[in-house]
A and B are shown apart, each in its own frame.
Chain A
């Protein structure tokens, strides 16, 4: 089922313009733009090495772009020119931006020395400076929602990949981010665990969260996205609602990719 965009225009939540990223001679992103309004679910698909993960990592500045513009709710990241790439000129702003962008990694990246609960309340307490009681209250809600309340005192190393990824989603949600970024959230999971994670992500999409997701799960992308972007060698080849990208792609390469992955 295809979700409709909210009819009301909230303005752009996230806007990325002409993003370029090079590693030395190799240009990985050759001017990629994306914009998401509140409630949009934008999925990025494409072959390995097409630059989709790099793009996502540039959005929250884990990688620094060579050129381009990143705007969150109308506010642009302040850059100055560096030797190899742009350099953020305001570290505080970067930290604030990141706290509004909930990142979920392929490899979960939970902090292994903390329990699930400690992982979830860490950001709210340390970064958002929330009182502990408030952070715990919110964490309870979120952990119930991802189905991990009874695992709250467990350490990540003792949990399955699916549970760890759900805990990582809970950690990101606890920051009450404006946009969720998913970097291939199910690629490191055993096939039988993919479903439980996708179910959580789908429920987030249904409640109208703004999300950017890099994925290889084509069926999922078709079901939950408001917009699909097909990236090839650092360029957007095809872009549009899932019905167009999956059923009537203008680009032959996209058609081939979509059919081959199915």
Chain B
């Protein structure tokens, strides 16, 4: 094993790691804010919206993330340059960059998987607790905000933790569309030093650390959830 290259590339790994974290956190935030309404309409209706949400989840969950990512980057992304004048517009720096396409693809993926989980989560909240909220005079939005959503999230919290860690481990796919996140940097090291195993081992170790940190953070919140007695 040769590690002489490591000090030289450490700063680049730091940058890559930072990109990985950004990609993960932003995608989870956007994805979850989509997943909540996607899960909710499947329980409350109206029917057409429920079908739409169900269809979305089925397609996202039924196709490989790599293909979704490439369809969005090479497909949607290649449509923009053909629009006249767009290269001069203020949008171009965003549209030219690969990162927003990765955010879009990962957010959609999170929305699809977690939307399905949130459907079950909303359905699993005991009807009586929602009835008590209605009986006390809450508006539908208050019921959602104060009782239904927090209870639903509480029920699926451990499941969501697992899902987010799976998302973390899917982020190396972004390297295939020119995003030099942590894994992308290890590829650069391989190309420049011809060391194959060491950079891979190192980057695997980085993901392990990230996953461990995530688990610790989520465990902290999970411990705040009251457990059922008995």
Q: List residues of chain A with CB under 8 Å of any chain B CB.
A: 60, 62, 91, 95-99, 101, 103, 105, 107-113, 122-123, 126-127, 155, 157-158, 168, 171-172, 175
List of B residues within 8 angstroms of A127 by Cβ = 136-138, 142
B129 with A112: CB separation less than 8 A: yes
A98 with B135: CB separation less than 8 A: yes
**Of B131, B134, B151, which is within 8 A of A112 by CB?**
B151
Find residues 146-165 in chain B having any chain A CB closer than 8 Å to their own CB: 146-147, 150-151, 154
B133 with A111: CB separation less than 8 A: yes
A171 with B129: CB separation less than 8 A: no
B226 with A109: CB separation less than 8 A: no
Q: Considering residues B133, B137, B139, B146, which has the most beta carbons from chain A within 10 angstroms of its beta carbon?
A: B137
Contact with A along B99-141 (1 / 0, CB 8 A): 0000000000000000000000000001011011111111100
| Nearest CB in chain A to that of B230: its residue | A157
Query: Distance in Å from the Cβ of A249 to the closest Cβ of chain B?
Result: 32
A105 with B227: CB separation less than 8 A: no
B146 with A122: CB separation less than 8 A: yes
- Give the CA-CA distance A134 to B228 in the complex, in Å: 31
B132 with A111: CB separation less than 8 A: yes
A103 with B228: CB separation less than 8 A: no
- Give the CA-CA distance A175 to B133 in the complex, in Å: 12
List of B residues within 8 angstroms of A103 by Cβ = 132, 135-136
Q: CB of B229 within 8 A of chain A?
A: yes
A113 with B151: CB separation less than 8 A: yes
A96 with B137: CB separation less than 8 A: yes
21 A-B pairs (CB sep. < 8 Å): A91-B139, A96-B137, A98-B135, A98-B137, A103-B135, A105-B128, A105-B132, A105-B135, A111-B132, A113-B151, A113-B226, A122-B136, A123-B137, A123-B138, A126-B138, A126-B146, A158-B226, A171-B136, A172-B136, A175-B136, A175-B137
Contact-residue size bin, chain B (C-beta under 8 Å from the other chain): 20 to 34
B226 with A98: CB separation less than 8 A: no
How many residue-residue contacts, CB under 8 A, span A and B? 73
**Of B131, B147, B151, B228, which is within 8 A of A105 by CB?**
B131
List of B residues within 8 angstroms of A157 by Cβ = 226-229
Query: Distance in Å from the Cβ of B28 to the closest Cβ of chain A?
Result: 22
List of A residues within 8 angstroms of B150 by Cβ = 113
**Of A62, A91, A96, A113, which is within 8 A of B154 by CB?**
A113
**Of B129, B139, B227, B229, which is within 8 A of A95 by CB?**
B139
- Give the CA-CA distance A137 to B205 in the complex, in Å: 54
- Give the CA-CA distance A111 to B128 in the complex, in Å: 9
| Nearest CB in chain A to that of B228: its residue | A157
Which 5 A-B pairs give the minimum distances between C-beta atoms?
Answer: A99-B137, A109-B128, A155-B226, A109-B132, A103-B135
- Give the CA-CA distance A105 to B227 in the complex, in Å: 23
A109 with B137: CB separation less than 8 A: no
| Nearest CB in chain B to that of A154: its residue | B226
List of B residues within 8 angstroms of A107 by Cβ = 128
List of A residues within 8 angstroms of B229 by Cβ = 157-158
Contact with A along B49-75 (1 / 0, CB 8 A): 000000000000000000000000000
- Give the CA-CA distance A103 to B132 in the complex, in Å: 8
| Nearest CB in chain B to that of A95: its residue | B137
| Nearest CB in chain B to that of A155: its residue | B226
B151 with A111: CB separation less than 8 A: yes
List of B residues within 8 angstroms of A96 by Cβ = 137
List of A residues within 8 angstroms of B126 by Cβ = 109, 112
B135 with A62: CB separation less than 8 A: yes
List of A residues within 8 angstroms of B132 by Cβ = 103, 105, 109-111, 168, 171
| Nearest CB in chain B to that of A118: its residue | B146
List of A residues within 8 angstroms of B139 by Cβ = 91, 95
| Nearest CB in chain B to that of A91: its residue | B139
* Given known A109-B126, A122-B146, contact A62–B133 (CB-CB < 8 A): no
**Of A60, A97, A99, A111, which is within 8 A of B129 by CB?**
A111
* Given known A157-B228, A158-B229, contact A109–B131 (CB-CB < 8 A): yes
| Nearest CB in chain A to that of B226: its residue | A155
Name 16 extra pairs, CB < 8 A, besides A113-B225, A126-B142. A62-B131, A91-B139, A97-B137, A98-B136, A98-B137, A105-B135, A108-B128, A109-B131, A110-B129, A111-B133, A111-B151, A123-B137, A126-B146, A127-B136, A157-B229, A172-B136
